[in-house]
Structure 1
Amino acid sequence: MSVLIGHGYLSVDLFFVLSGFLLSLTSSASFNNHLFIHDYKAFMYKRFCRIFPLYIVATLLYFFLFHFGEVESLIVNLTLLQGVFSFSNNSLISPGWSLTNEWVIYFFLPLAFYLTWKIRNKAWILILSSITIFIAISIFRNDFLNWGNSYSLQKIHGFNPVILFTRGPSSFLRTIADYLLGIFAYLSFERIKKRAVLLKYSAIPLVVFLFFKKTDILIILLMPFFMVHITERNVINRFLSSKVVYFLGLISYSLYVNHFLFIDTYDKISKSFGLNTNNYLIISACYVATGTLIFSTITYYAIEKPALKYLKKMGERFI
């Protein structure tokens, strides 16, 4: 069970693969045959509206709670470009590294849509490219490719397919590989759906691999097939379409940005009282889960939703 829970970091990869698929579904048509600056500006503005309002609030909150006085770091973090350079690799909020990766990828995504559409009949190239990237970042672990965690990588030699270790350039490569898989799922959607019998069983090895160590790459490679499968009307689809799951999906960005706030505050409170957190795992889990859910509901309706509505209206005047 600890191995299963330990694979939780792969939810980031699932998020990237899903983002690649959904953005392909909603935006790729604007770039399939051309690259117009107007479409590019509209795409980037939409992504800005989606990410930045809550991110800025969360970053400011973290600054005042945990990093007060680190003004230079705050300024860099507010641009969401920390991690682009090794000397500014510190994210004030823990999920910041993945949001930086996603934001940077957005700048190149329209070009990716344009180029991948040219090879839509050879979408297997995207799978092959992803595999090559994952193998490369699993073998080459050094100061140049991995920032901030080079010390922990010194004991690792040779091939080690644990994607958790990626930081710096290797983390950007990880994000690119995930997005390529999402675009693959989009380009091969109808073709994959025709093999519904095989898709039905894609969840089995995916779940099985979660109980084994060093299976990260295999799990990630199964994600696009599993995503196509759950678009069909089946038990998993009905579960994911339930009101509770739909609501959690609605506030998922808030959940992702906010959950470390409660993990870090619990750690800070525990240390101030000299408590051993291992003795209060149930209490800490309840605090983190309940606090994140309530706070994320508030931030979705108080920040995300109104900010998105306001910024979209503003964008109609300028874009």
Structure 2
Amino acid sequence: MSTVSKARPATTPASKRSRSPEGAPARSRAGDIDGFRGLAALSTVVFHVWQQYFRYDANGVHPPVDNAYLGAVLSFEVIDLFFVLSAYLLTLSYARAAIDGGSTRPARVFLFRRAIRILPLYFLAVLVVWATRNPTLPGNWQDLVEHLTFTHVFDQQRIFYTLGPTWSLSLEVLFYFVLVGLGPLAVRACRQLRQRRTRVAVCAGGCLLLYVIPLVWIAVAHYVYGVPHTHWAVYFGPQARFGGFAVGMGLAVLMVALGDRGRLHRGSALPLSMAALAGLYALSLLSAPENFTFTFYHPLASALWMVLLFSTLHIHRRTRWNRLLTARWLTAVGLVSYSLFIWHEPVMLQLHKSGLLPAGQAGFPLALVIVLLAALPTAVLSYWLIEYPAGLLARLKDNSGRPRDFYPEPAIR
């Protein structure tokens, strides 16, 4: 999601920022990250409109497209990018504290701010969509309870009910609790170690272990027990998908460990970014039900997203790829990406129900335009009417968890 973390990397004082060839201070990495969010959100809309027009078959296979190369583009999944990006941003403070010392925010403050970020819009959307689809009580009450408690990801039948894409939010919320549990433990363990490289190795080893566990789960489920990929609770749950978060945590450790060292030059950064994108496309192209690439698609894709993020953020000078990511229209989409992620499916289904989308597979391009024209304004309104006001509540507490004093008493002269 999540698409959903809005944590920003710390910026350095203006006097210490690297400068572009023109002499202006280099832009913050926050613009690149917003660009990633925007691309991921738009790609998610394309993916779900495509699913609506080119339905999955009974075996859960990606909808057929005559041109395999075009099909690989349309079936390009970006949910792993949301996981990697969210984990990277939220783990940075723990990685800094564990490797270089310092403090972290109390768990209650972290969870309070995550709740303010996630819950108001999510709960509202779930209640609105569920009520429209269950006009008479009690309705499918179990579906409602599972969505409100983020447990629908464990239900084979209801995982994609109400708000289909939000199965990933269940994993996002679980990651928050894992991070506030393991993060402080890692910090305390590393404080006992004298050498910095040992602290880095401990943190990196922990991330690697968290990455390997889902690989083992997938391998055993698929090759030992023969569980088909349509068993959603097995392959969509945290036990199978946590590798994306582990990769993001590893990226945070890597970035903190390197600091300003090893920054990539244009001659290496752009080719590495393009190689990562080519690898992601190859995964999509080569995936076929139950083959190796399909079975391990998400762990492999997560690793490639990590490479792409590293080659985008850990650089000396900005590349054309960075300039694309920081285009105003794209960062604007990134700003409202969570609202777009939440509302695009209900908007699409309502347009379809009202007969406002063209019929037949040939109508897919026009349908995509119509859905975007309706979903983007909806996302903008949702951001300013729900997300932004709710976000102001996060300022009620400071980093130590104490209520902020917005009206300090005047100094006595």
Q: TM-score range by the shorter chain?
A: 0.7 to 0.9
Does the C-alpha gap of structure 1 residues 91 and 43 become closer, same or farther in structure 2, counting only changes over 3 Å? Answer: farther
Q: Which amino acid aligns with 1:196?
A: L
Is structure 2 residue 331 aligned with structure 1 residue 246?
A: yes
Q: Equivalent residue for 2:72?
A: 3
Change (3 A) 1:306 1:200: same
Structure 1, residues 286-314: CA drift from partner, whole Å, max 9, x if none?
12211111100110001000112135438
The match for 1:156 is none
Q: Aligned residue for 1:25?
A: 92
Aligned with residue 140 of structure 1, among 212, 220, 232 = 220
Contact 2:270-2:321 at 8 Å conserved across structures: no
1:201, CA displacement in angstroms?
Answer: 2.8
Once residues 177 and 235 of structure 2 are traced to their aligned partners in structure 1, the CA distance between those partners, rounded to angstroms, is: 16
Aligned residues: 297
**Amino acid of the residue matched to residue 260 of structure 1?**
E
Question: Which residue matches 2:146?
Answer: 76
Deviation of the 1:84 alpha carbon: 4.7
* Residues 31, 111 of structure 1: 8 Å contact kept: no
Per the alignment, residue 12 of structure 1 pairs with 79
Gaps of 5+ in 1: 154-164
What does the per-residue CA deviation read over 1:99-144, in whole Å, with 9 as the maximum and x for residues that have no partner? 01111121111233235554523555356436534533443347xx
Which amino acid in structure 1 is aligned with residue 329 of structure 2? Answer: V
1:26 shift after superposition: 4.5
Please give the alpha-carbon distance, in whole angstroms, between the structure 1 residues aligned to 2:156 and 2:180.
26
Work out the CA distance in 1 between the residues paired with 2:203 and 2:95: 15
**Given the two structures, how large is their TM-score scaled by the length of structure 1?**
0.78
Q: State the alpha-carbon separation in 2 of the partners of residues 263 and 168 from structure 1.
A: 28
Bigger drift between 41-50 and 173-182 goes to 173-182
2:290 is the counterpart of 1:224: no
1:305 aligns with 2:388: yes
Report if aligned partners of 1:267, 1:277 keep a CA contact under 8 Å in 2.
no
Aligned-partner residue type, residue 248 of structure 2: G
TM superposition shift of 1:171: 2.4
Conserved? CA contact 1:82–1:88, under 8 Å: yes
- One-letter code aligned to 1:177: G
The alignment's TM-score, normalised by the length of structure 2, stands at 0.62
The code of the aligned residue for 1:282 comes to: P
2:173 pairs, out of 103, 108, 117, with 103
Q: Percent identity?
A: 20
Give the structure 2 partner of residue 255 of structure 1.
340
Other structure's SS at 2:75 match? helix
Aligned partner of 1:135: which letter?
Answer: L
Cα 1:83/1:184, change in 2 over 3 Å: same
Q: Is the 8 A contact 1:134 1:177 kept in 2?
A: yes
Residue 194 (structure 1) aligned with residue 265 (structure 2): no
Matching residue of 1:162 = none
Greater share of helix residues, 1 or 2? 1
- State the 1:88 CA deviation: 6.8
Note if contact 1:206-1:222 (Cα within 8 Å) is conserved in structure 2: yes
Contact 1:137/1:166 (<8 A) preserved = no
**What is the identity, as a one-letter code, of the residue corresponding to 1:289?**
L
How far apart, CA to CA, are the structure 2 residues paired with 1:283 and 1:316?
Answer: 52
Alignment match of 1:172 (pick from 224, 227, 238): 238
Cα deviation per residue 1:172-206 (whole Å; 9 max; x = unaligned)? Answer: 03442111111111111153961626544332332
Map Cα deviations across residues 191-250 of structure 1 (whole Å, 9 max, x no partner): 396162654433233222314223534332121121122123222122212221211111
Q: Secondary structure of 2:153's partner?
A: coil
Kindly indicate whether residue 360 of structure 2 is the aligned counterpart of residue 277 of structure 1.
yes
Residues 87 and 167 from structure 1, CA distance in 2 versus in 1: closer, same or farther, beyond 3 angstroms? closer
Q: Look up the SS of the partner of 1:167 in the other structure.
A: helix
- The answer to which of 292-301 and 241-250 deviates more is 241-250
**Relative to structure 1, is the Cα distance of residues 313 and 128 closer, same or farther in structure 2, using a 3 angstrom cutoff?**
closer
Write the distance in 1 (CA, Å) between the matches of 2:346 and 2:275. Answer: 34
CA-atom RMSD, angstroms? 3.5
Q: 1:122 to 1:310 in 2, by over 3 A?
A: closer
Which structure ranks higher in relative contact order (CA pairs < 8 Å, sequence separation ≥ 6)? 2
* Structure 2 unpaired stretches of 5+: 1-69, 191-198, 288-292, 405-413
| 2:321 counterpart residue number | 236
Q: Aligned in 2, Cα 1:3/1:22: closer, same or farther, shift over 3 Å?
A: same
CA distance in 2, matches of 1:40, 1:291: 38
Structure 2 residue corresponding to 1:121, chosen from 172, 194, 201: 201
Residue 265 of structure 1: how far off its partner (Å):
2.2
User: Aligned equivalents of 2:375 and 2:357: distance in 1?
Assistant: 24
